[in-house]
Amino acid sequence: MTDMKKSPTEQERVGVYVCHCGSNIAGTIDVDEVAKFAEKNPNVVVSRNYEFMCSSTGQELIENDIKEQGLSRIVVASCSPHMHEKTFREATERGGLNPFLYEMANIREHGSWATNDKEAATIKAKALVNGAIERVVHHAPLEKIPVSINPNTLIVGGGIAGITAALELAEAGHHVYLVERDGTIGGHMAQIDKTFPTLDCSACILTPKMVDVGQNDNITLLTYSEVESVEGYIGNFNITVRKKARCVIEDLCTSCGDCEEKCPQKVVDNDYGAGISTRKAIYRSFPQAVPGYPVLDKENCTYFQTGKCKICEQVCPTHAIDYEQKDEMLNFDVGNIILATGYDLFDARKIPQYGYGRLPNVFSSMEFERMVNASGPTSGHIVLRDGVTHPKSVAIVHCVGSRDQNYNEYCSKVCCMYSLKFAHLVHEHLPGAEVYNFYIDMRTPGKGYEEFYHRLLKEGTHFVRGRVAEITDADRNPGEENKLIVQAENTLLGQQQRTPVDMVILSAGIQARHDAEEVSKLFKMGCDYDGFFNERHPKLAPVATMTDGIFIAGACQGPKDIPDTVAQGGAAASQVAKLISQGTVMMEPVRASIREDECSGCRICNTLCPYNAIEYDEEKDVSRVITALCQGCGTCVAACPSSVIDGAHFTNTQVFAELKGILWDVQEEITAKQEAI
């Protein structure tokens, strides 16, 4: 490191802190060796390793060293800056230094967690730490830039999560744009009959909230609409929404329902009706729909398909039908965004051995929810596919598409509980019927959940511990004729068991929305392998995301039951409310600036800037950065032919220094050879 001694900045007094993160780092990286190595750098005056740098004691180490050892620069080697950069900047500041005189070396996510090779991990850690040291000595004190927060909020998804969040904010006096893809809000909760474990009627507790949303002046409700584009950043997002043409003039429609009643075209309702009920071509998903005006489904409308009919137009007393209606583009600004886009149910057709779609009396869980619902196609009667026969025996199959490498590896969390609920509902509706629950493990964590399981045990449900292998109508033994045979091992007996039943219900798991990937890209945030949106921190920031100003709530973040979903809706709302009441947030001062005296006025940067944040001064023949508009991407910095644009906190000098630093070992070889020559 002879050349480092020549470093012009060796007068800087750097403190280096290597974090063990328990065994997360220390288990793979020799933190002691790394700290000792750092000490050798001429700029370093203090080099420590400590078990948990993010702990208050860890932070105090920094603060005290700054005061006592007169440190001028701080380097912490621990986790990702996206995890704790803020923490240590604040510690640096409390110590009396400008927070930007601090640099982080990510030796956990990019180091100890990414390899098992201890030696290699330690070498890499040394490199990253050295890079940070070399970089930080070139840091300059910076001031954060205040950004004002637009008090309006966009909420995407009108399920119980979105509804909760919208009401929380609206009732706190903030304006909300609630965007829902379907014709009505309500989401999955509007489809289901009873909620576990309390068994209160889902619609009864949901619809009042839906009405509140419809009536609250602080909520702009945009149903049958989808977000087209999202521009900007925290506090200042610009949103474009496509309001799809429902062919109904909302101002004229009185929601009388005549059009729906008279429409001659019956369609199987695969959305709200889960495919076992029908609706009309112009329809409201259900009577309590909010808003009350219907949607005209062009694919199935006789007029749109054949050019004849127009019955709805004739019967509409207020002439609210408009076949010419076009999609409408709405544009508005918001300060924050809450995504509550919910989930899709696993498609049981993907498991052929369960016969769903082939065997009529195999039902999906949502089909059963609709069937057992008083407002459903059978007005709440549990019947076979023929629509009349009551089953004498019902098998409920857990873990359909969950806990399975072939489909979804994770546990869907709610299926055990709703399967128990189904069992109860069958007992309640058909007292004589036998009910069998086939499960791998009974998972009932939650208030009153285990008690509900015990209640079902007492109600006489048969619980078979064994994952169902196949469901067939091929009878083999006497007593199986014209039945569905559920074949599984009763693992507690170690015996294969064939259970003949009349009806099978497949408890399908929860999946990310089929288009979750595109949505996450639209909002510039991440999803995990399963397509669920990534929270900022799994424990400590469950509703925040890596993108400031964007929050998530409900099952779009992972399988969740109603209580947890409502809790997250509220949590997201309060996070937004906090930002609104702050009024402004401090933004990273990572901005470009042009040294005008050296600018040649070539204007290359002007056209490159994606935010038109660079203006050209005719008189002086120089370009100038409009700091308020600059987002700090640095494209102009890289492009400037005369290198007179500085990207604060990412200056060429800083990057070059870091580069040299992380290549210390290979550097040594080279310099050795250089000196040889």
Partner 1 sequence: MTDTLTSRPPTLIDKIIAETPGKASNLYACLQCGTCSGSCPSGPDMDHSPRTIFAMIDSGLEDQVLMSNTPWYCVSCYYCMVRCPQEIPITDIMYTLKRMAIEAGYFREVDQDKAPEFSETFMDLVENNGRSFELGVVMRHHLRYHPLSAVKLATGMGLKMITKGRMDFTPTKIKNLPQLKAILKKAKELGGAA
Partner 2 sequence: MKYGYYPGCSMEKNARSYHTSTMAVAKPLGIEFIEVDDWNCCGATEYIAINKIPAYALVSRNLALAADQNDSENLVAPCSACFLNLKKVDHYLQENTELKEKVDIALDAGGLSYEPGTINVQHLLETLSVDIGLDAIKAQVKKPLYNLRVAPYYGCLVPRPATMGSFDDPEHPTSMDKILEVLGATVIDYPLKAQCCGGHMTQISENTALELIRRLLKNAQDSEADMIATLCPMCQLNLDAYQDAVNAHFGTKFKIPIVYFTQLMGLAFDLPENELGFGKEIVSAKPALAKITEQAPKPKRTRERGKKNVGLPMPIMAEEG
Partner 3 sequence: MSEQFEPVIVGFLCNWCSYRAADLAGTARIKYAPNLRPIRVMCSGRVDPQFVLQAFRSGADGVLIAGCHPGECHYVNGNIKALRRFALLRKTLEQWGIEQERVQLLWASASEGTILAAAVDRMTEEVRTLGPLRWGEKVLIDEAVLAVGEEV
Q: Identify the helix (H) or strand (E) that includes residue 516.
A: helix 516-522
The DSSP secondary-structure symbol of 114 reads G
Q: Which stretch binds partner 2 (CB under 8 A): 31-39, 109-117, 385-393, 560-568?
A: 385-393
The distance of closest approach from Cβ of residue 483 to partner 3 in the complex, given in angstroms and rounded to an integer, is 45
The DSSP secondary-structure symbol of 613 reads -
In sequence order, what are the beta bridge partners of 16?
47, 75
Does residue 128 contact residue 111 with C-beta atoms inside 8 Å?
yes
Which residues from 552-611 bind partner 2, rule CB under 8 A?
none
x/- mask, partner 1, residues 329-358, rule CB under 8 A, reads ------------------------x-----
- Give just the sign of the alpha carbon dihedral 474, 480, 484, 488: negative
The DSSP secondary-structure symbol of 534 reads P
- Residue 266 interacts, among partner 1, partner 2, partner 3, none and using kind-specific CB cut-offs from 5 to 8 Å, with none
Total of residues contacting partner 3 (CB under 8 A): 64
User: Which of 22, 387, 526, 583 touches partner 2 by CB under 8 A?
Assistant: 387
Q: Which stretch binds partner 1 (CB under 8 A): 305-313, 317-325, 401-409, 638-646?
A: 401-409
What is the C-alpha to C-alpha distance for residues 152 and 332, in angstroms, rounded to an integer? 9
Task: Tell me the residue type at 660.
Answer: K
Measured at the CA of 130, the angle between CA 126 and CA 135, to 5 degrees, comes to: 150
The DSSP secondary-structure symbol of 1 reads -
Contact between 661 and partner 2 per CB under 8 A: no
User: Which of 470, 475, 596, 668 touches partner 1 by CB under 8 A?
Assistant: 470
Q: By CB neighbour count within 10 A (0-12 exposed, 13-18 middle, 19+ buried), where does 212 fall?
A: middle
x/- mask, partner 1, residues 192-211, rule CB under 8 A, reads --------------------
Which residues from 488-517 bind partner 3, rule CB under 8 A?
517
HSE of 603, CA atoms in CB hemisphere, 13 A: 7
What is the C-alpha to C-alpha distance for residues 409 and 386, in angstroms, rounded to an integer? 35
User: Which of 461, 499, 520, 568 touches partner 3 by CB under 8 A?
Assistant: 520
Contact between 488 and partner 1 per CB under 8 A: yes
SS3 label, residue 253: coil
- Residue 520 interacts, among partner 2, partner 1, partner 3, none and using kind-specific CB cut-offs from 5 to 8 Å, with partner 3
Contact between 469 and partner 1 per CB under 8 A: yes
Contact between 468 and partner 1 per CB under 8 A: yes
What is the C-alpha to C-alpha distance for residues 595 and 209, in angstroms, rounded to an integer? 57
The distance of closest approach from Cβ of residue 638 to partner 3 in the complex, given in angstroms and rounded to an integer, is 4
Q: By CB neighbour count within 10 A (0-12 exposed, 13-18 middle, 19+ buried), where does 264 fall?
A: exposed
What is the C-alpha to C-alpha distance for residues 505 and 511, in angstroms, rounded to an integer? 18
Measured at the CA of 349, the angle between CA 500 and CA 430, to 5 degrees, comes to: 40
Contact between 276 and partner 3 per CB under 8 A: no
Task: Tell me the residue type at 64.
Answer: N
What is the C-alpha to C-alpha distance for residues 542 and 56, in angstroms, rounded to an integer? 22
HSE of 264, CA atoms in CB hemisphere, 13 A: 8
Contact between 120 and partner 3 per CB under 8 A: yes
Which residues from 345-364 bind partner 2, rule CB under 8 A?
349, 351-353, 356-360, 364
Which residues from 640-669 bind partner 3, rule CB under 8 A?
643, 647, 650, 652-653, 655-656, 658-660, 662-663, 665-667, 669
Nearer to partner 1 among residue 498 and residue 660 (C-beta): 498
In the complex, which residues of this chain contact partner 2 (CB under 8 A)?
268, 270, 275-276, 278, 349, 351-353, 356-360, 364, 367, 371, 377-378, 383-388, 472-476
In the complex, which residues of this chain contact partner 1 (CB under 8 A)?
353, 399, 403-406, 440, 465-470, 487-491, 494-497
In the complex, which residues of this chain contact partner 3 (CB under 8 A)?
80-82, 106, 108-111, 113-117, 119-121, 123-124, 127-128, 131, 517, 520-521, 524-529, 534, 546, 590, 608, 610-611, 631-635, 637-639, 643, 647, 650, 652-653, 655-656, 658-660, 662-663, 665-667, 669-670, 673-674, 677
